[in-house]
């Protein structure tokens, strides 16, 4: 049995060489928002959901991005509303959100 049901990695990388990076789009703030939602829903922790920062996931040009395991589903998001939709549909109901999928 997996330690976590789902593990969600947010790229929060900030590049300093002028190339696009997820942090250019407030990735850390948005990651913190989803982490709070998961905790408030009582879904955080062992056998539940873990939200983590990740270094560069090498998709910053499509950013900001997150990836959910074990499903290996990649998403682009821009707003809290996008994360709300991913949370309600994918995280809670295992339903892929095609319009945000990359």
Query: In this structure, what token pair is assigned to residue 73?
Result: 């589903």
| Superfamily classification of domain 6-97 | Glutaredoxin (3.40.30.10)
- The model's pTM is 0.93
pLDDT higher than threshold 90 for residue 61: no
Q: Report CA Rg, the chain.
A: 13
pLDDT higher than threshold 90 for residue 27: yes
pLDDT higher than threshold 90 for residue 55: no
Cβ-based neighbour number of residue 45 at 10 Å: 12
Query: In this structure, what token pair is assigned to residue 14?
Result: 């900030």
- Are the beta carbons of 75 and 86 closer than 8 angstroms? yes
- Are the beta carbons of 26 and 14 closer than 8 angstroms? no
pLDDT for residue 1: 65
Distance CA 39, CA 48 (A): 10
């Amino acid at each position: 049995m997996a330690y976590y049901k789902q593990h969600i990695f947010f790229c929060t990388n900030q590049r300093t060489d002028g190339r696009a990076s997820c942090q250019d789009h407030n990735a850390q703030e948005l990651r913190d928002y989803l982490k709070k939602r998961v905790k408030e829903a009582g879904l955080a922790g062992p056998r539940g959901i873990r939200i983590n920062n990740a270094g560069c996931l090498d998709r910053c040009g499509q950013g900001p991005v997150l990836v959910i395991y074990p499903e290996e589903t990649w998403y682009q998001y821009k707003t809290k509303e996008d994360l709300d939709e991913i949370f309600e549909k994918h995280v809670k109901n295992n339903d892929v959100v095609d319009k945000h999928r990359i």
